[in-house]
Structure 1
């Protein structure tokens, strides 16, 4: 079309042009408009995919809790409508929900999502041929959103298991499930991204796809074109409650590991590092000497934890853990959680602008302590500044109320300037500045005066009982 007016030349040159293009192509292009045929996947895998119906007799909110870490996430609204009909508290009619699952092992084991069967009093598994079986819960893991069920049959046809690591962005994938109760529904799409972290508390590097997933699809399998399961459909991103082009699946490699532990031990053991982390922003990256925002910034090291014993400090930026790169802070929990407790791994980090390595012996995550115990103990001192703020020392009562062991000064007022621009607020407690402990107003002034004008300095503050790094610009003098 760009050669308008030279049609005769192109007509004579067409055979040569075709030969040249064919010689440059490694494989023949498919006919225009042709898409993969998914019928063999639906035919072969159909008998292994099940519908899961649950009944929760308390009729209340207990049956409608969200997957771990999603209560305040963008996915929360959809999940609040995902768990059945009961809306009352405690004494209403039984609530019912629908989900999907698949036969994992022929001895009667079925895998689904934790949130599909959470708090269920009765679980019914229905097969393609309409047979129904009552299932018992072998074990459930909230952090990975997986649950293993068992039915009294040992002649089941399990799915073929693939390798989620071998998936590439752009690969075709197929989902089979029961959206809105429509059993054995097949939808297809492509892998949109890998290693998605949806919240800092989750331990799953999700596979993102554009496969149509809706209420009732949760727990169903995600197949590659060879008919092998590579993921478990778990979540969607939606502002309307329905599919909007973004869905997430749990990688099968992780799911198998979790399922084996649930079968053998009834619970899942995860690695634990003992740190509180935050995202590295552009400003923080500059203040810590990084070439770009990356890694996980340690804002608190828990006393007596693996990180403390290995020598990690507040202000360290973890760049890799056990040989796995950490591109964002949300990637660290999944990497640490996959490490076997008791194993020693190498941590590569940035400290005071210098790259260094430490060996850390990973401990086991204590779920009860994480959920029911007191919050993390107070941070060590950090950050100074006068830069538009009025600060004051902390007396013993304030220190006890704010749960600060020692050091720190309190921001009494923010009048503007660099501190206000960086986001420091009245009531924040400055613990460290650029790695220097701050235990008095005079010490804060002293540290700030030594900072290089025209740069940004990392301030470690405590806000609402939680640690937070903020990059504060140091003005030119």
Structure 2
């Protein structure tokens, strides 16, 4: 005898219908008929969506799920977070439309194989519901590793962008953002900005109208056996730490932020404020998980010239020309955009076997 747990069994129909009622369609006149999804997050018509849905928007039209009401409503972009690809829209609603349905953001609880539902408008097929599971809880985002995403198997396509990924309680565990689609075919690999990042971003956008992400501003890579081989070839005098992972500084330009804050080429960072780091996910989880802010001074434990040293290091912030970045990204719909040049990425060593972690 065996039992099969299904999303249908775990997520009741009425929960999905309530989430559908809080999901909106957002049309951006600046994109020649382009549209995406959004989700109401309070009862006054505040919508959360992807930034790329409203990129360069001069006029927005928004529709509710309501088979008896085909009217569209206007909305104003009141805050943006291009780094996480998020934005807030305030709807302009008549009094009789308030209060609106809305969903809560779940910022703490998700798990591998957890059942989830994606709601949106894939390829313009409005208010489509798809079922799936969380495949991974700690993927790095396509723009920066400081933005964590959930990988899931609920089918999404263009038009789902900005729509909610909900759990069995009807709470938003993520905002659907992009997918892997080789040969323009559904791959079963989709990504949603994770709930804790979403909540952090929303809080900052509401308070200040923008976000400021802490960052080391280092071009680093996990040190492993493949990397040691590469470094020994490129830097014959470099003596790599034995049986140590950590993050090694691969590039350091004179006058750069990291250079001015005391870092040196081939430094190996092994801890931040006493917390060990072995790969970029550790760095992200420390800086974002502890809600560090740009300008905070942290203590780095590093290996330099075979000695363990402490370094007081001031956190920077991620900078990007988001208009140019998303203009370029929009030329290749469906494919991950390049990393912004102002935030050094986690560099890859030339090798055939991939190291732990991914962009």
Q: Tell me the TM-score normalised to structure 1 length.
A: 0.58
**Aligned equivalent of 2:100, options 156, 161, 178:** 156
Q: Report deviation, 1:322.
A: 4.7
2:85 aligns with: 145
Q: Report deviation, 1:243.
A: 2.1
**Cα deviations by residue, 1:293-349 (Å, 9 ceiling, x for unpaired):** x44321234556664455322112223435665443476467557630222223233
Residue range with higher mean Cα deviation, 334-343 or 134-143: 334-343
2:13 aligns with: 39
**Aligned equivalent of 1:112, options 49, 63, 88:** 49
Residue range with higher mean Cα deviation, 40-49 or 337-346: 337-346
Q: Report deviation, 1:31.
A: 6.5
The CA distance in 1 between the partners of 2:207 and 2:49, in whole Å, is: 17
**Cα deviations by residue, 1:458-477 (Å, 9 ceiling, x for unpaired):** xxxxxxxx9x8979xxxxxx
Task: Assess, with a 3 A threshold, how the Cα gap between structure 1 residues 205 and 174 changes in structure 2: closer, same or farther.
Answer: same
Q: Report deviation, 1:46.
A: 2.0
Task: Assess, with a 3 A threshold, how the Cα gap between structure 1 residues 276 and 105 changes in structure 2: closer, same or farther.
Answer: same
Greater than 6 Å deviation, 4+ residue runs: 31-34, 468-471
Contact 1:197 1:331 in 2 (8 A): no
State yes or no: 1:190 paired with 2:142.
Answer: no
1:172-321 equivalent positions in 2, closer than 5 A: 172-199=115-142, 201-285=144-228, 288-291=240-243, 294-301=245-252, 307-308=258-259, 310-321=261-272
**Cα deviations by residue, 1:354-398 (Å, 9 ceiling, x for unpaired):** 5444332223444469x89xxxxxxxxxxxxxxxxxxxxxxxxxx
Q: Report deviation, 1:35.
A: 4.0
SS in 2 for 1:169: coil
Contact 2:149 2:194 in 1 (8 A): yes
Task: Assess, with a 3 A threshold, how the Cα gap between structure 1 residues 118 and 273 changes in structure 2: closer, same or farther.
Answer: same
**Aligned equivalent of 1:167, options 110, 113, 131:** 110
2:27 aligns with: 53
The CA distance in 2 between the partners of 1:117 and 1:353, in whole Å, is: 50
Larger radius of gyration: 1
Q: Report deviation, 1:166.
A: 2.5
Q: Report deviation, 1:255.
A: 1.4
Task: Assess, with a 3 A threshold, how the Cα gap between structure 1 residues 160 and 266 changes in structure 2: closer, same or farther.
Answer: closer
**Aligned equivalent of 1:339, options 292, 295, 298:** 292
SS in 2 for 1:105: coil
- Indicate the structure whose relative CO is greater, using CA pairs within 8 Å and at least 6 residues apart: 2
The CA distance in 2 between the partners of 1:190 and 1:30, in whole Å, is: 17
The CA distance in 2 between the partners of 1:155 and 1:340, in whole Å, is: 35
State yes or no: 1:133 paired with 2:73.
Answer: yes
**Cα deviations by residue, 1:131-180 (Å, 9 ceiling, x for unpaired):** 421111112222111111111245222202212x4211121111111112
Contact 2:302 2:308 in 1 (8 A): yes
Task: Assess, with a 3 A threshold, how the Cα gap between structure 1 residues 207 and 150 changes in structure 2: closer, same or farther.
Answer: same
RMSD of Structure 2 on Structure 1 (CA): 3.4
Contact 2:11 2:167 in 1 (8 A): no
Contact 1:296 1:332 in 2 (8 A): no
Contact 2:79 2:87 in 1 (8 A): yes
Contact 2:269 2:277 in 1 (8 A): yes
Residue range with higher mean Cα deviation, 127-136 or 307-316: 307-316
SS in 2 for 1:128: coil
Task: Assess, with a 3 A threshold, how the Cα gap between structure 1 residues 351 and 284 changes in structure 2: closer, same or farther.
Answer: farther
The CA distance in 1 between the partners of 2:177 and 2:99, in whole Å, is: 27
The count of corresponding residues between Structure 1 and Structure 2 is 312
Contact 1:194 1:207 in 2 (8 A): yes
Q: Tell me the TM-score normalised to structure 2 length.
A: 0.75
SS in 1 for 2:10: coil
The CA distance in 2 between the partners of 1:296 and 1:115, in whole Å, is: 32
The CA distance in 2 between the partners of 1:309 and 1:40, in whole Å, is: 56
Q: Report deviation, 1:43.
A: 2.1
State yes or no: 1:103 paired with 2:30.
Answer: no
The CA distance in 2 between the partners of 1:470 and 1:254, in whole Å, is: 28
Q: Report deviation, 1:49.
A: 0.9
Contact 1:204 1:334 in 2 (8 A): no
The CA distance in 2 between the partners of 1:346 and 1:329, in whole Å, is: 17
